[in-house]
Chains A and B, each alone.
Chain A
Amino acid sequence: MSATENGLVTVRVTVNGRAYERAVEPRKALSDFIREDLGLTGTHVACEHGFCGVCNILLDGQTVRSCLMFAVQVDGHAIETVESLASPDGTLSPLQQAFNDHAGLQCGYCTPGMLMTAKEHLDRHPDGGTDEEIREAIAGVLCRCTGYQQIIESIRAAATTGKGA
């Protein structure tokens, strides 16, 4: 991280395995940086105040709300976004396929945050854990369509395929 002449700060970050370097204003949210500066619009922003979890991404392997971090803070770190899940040829990951098969989404707006949060849960509980653990894991992500039951079934299904996230 280094300051430039016009008040911008240079950020070097690895996103989905690829290195990026950009100059940003310190107040630029990480969520806006990912979408606007890197062009990775899979990460959605909804409330932008940390309530909804839709913008959840993985920072160094842990979920964080990307709207509650500034881009300057991720200099030297590694991020994974929803774009990291599917294969380059477009084949869905087992988790994404399970959401598709079990109606784990309707409008799709919360889905990127839900998927990254579910991925973290499955990375830690390859067998899916208990239903209560799944509910606890996604408690911080709001979905206004599904009623959550199908999301829980999707995560359970992804676990039972034995392929994880």
Chain B
Amino acid sequence: MVSFAGWELPVMYSSILAEHETVRTSVGVFDISHMGQIFVSGEKSQKWLDALLTNDVSNLEIADAQYTFLLNESGGVIDDLILYRLDETSFFLVVNAAKINEVTEWFDRHLLEGITYENESSEWAGLAVQGPRAPEIYTRITGGRCLPAKYGVDDVTHEGARMIVCRTGYTGEDGFELFCSARAASGWFQVLMDEHVVPCGLGARDTLRLEMCYPLNGNDLTEERTPLEAGLGRFVAFDKEVEFLGREVLLRQKEEGVEYRLMAIQLSERGAPPRAGYPVLGDEDQVIGHLTSGALSPSLGVGIALAYLPRDVVKIGSSVKIEVRGQGLPAKVVKKPFYQH
């Protein structure tokens, strides 16, 4: 178990490698009840969200989802989150556990008349069922329901209780995230156990997301780095009708190019797993950056990592070294993601 944002979370139930493999080939479940759930509504809620978030909310259809960023004035990432449109004027946001307070403080500071938001994080629980067998499991546990389309969301009443089912995840596999009342969660978890869905911990969640180069807030995303530096400019809509907070800084970066970019690094040989904080060395063994994430990739069998590195020194294909206990291990900057289906 590990303490995380005030929660006690399991790192693993049996084995990180086994749990990882299960999600890639079959189906596993992660308890994601620590994540925050916020509901936004109001006649002008779409415009209000468009002014706070980077993606184009006006383009978001009802029952669809969008990965997006909440930025500070200097373009740094306060949170990366998923925004779901429930109907024309109401939205559901799933935010990072450690960022719930920052997000609601930001909302309070920018609140407009006619906009209401409810932070219902403590009333909701979440289970992420991930893996190629997830759709079939969903149909079985709901007595014949079908999952929404990819990135879709269903806000439904099932057996008298509200649940929000999203075809999203953080593993790179097909699957869904089921949000229900905290009271109903243990029942759902038991139903999944009865279907032999394998319980998975934070450890496998981390190796799965890192193989896909999905960023981890607090590690790969911080208030000092912008989405463009993180290589996630495709979730930033510069041309949308409403200008979002932080746009000016991002636009300048877009025109001038960023100095540092979050790059994917793969070790050349099997060896010590890279870990967050380890130095990255350039040609002359000079330190050019530090890992923000690192792990042994269970799928590839070698170490993989992310680091903000200077673009004038390295690009895809460049040789670098990762320093582990004083020794420089040979590695290469590679194309994202590490893992291809």
Q: Do A and B bind each other?
A: no
B interface residues (Cβ-Cβ under 8 A, vs A): none
The chain A residues found within 8 Å of chain B, CB to CB, are none
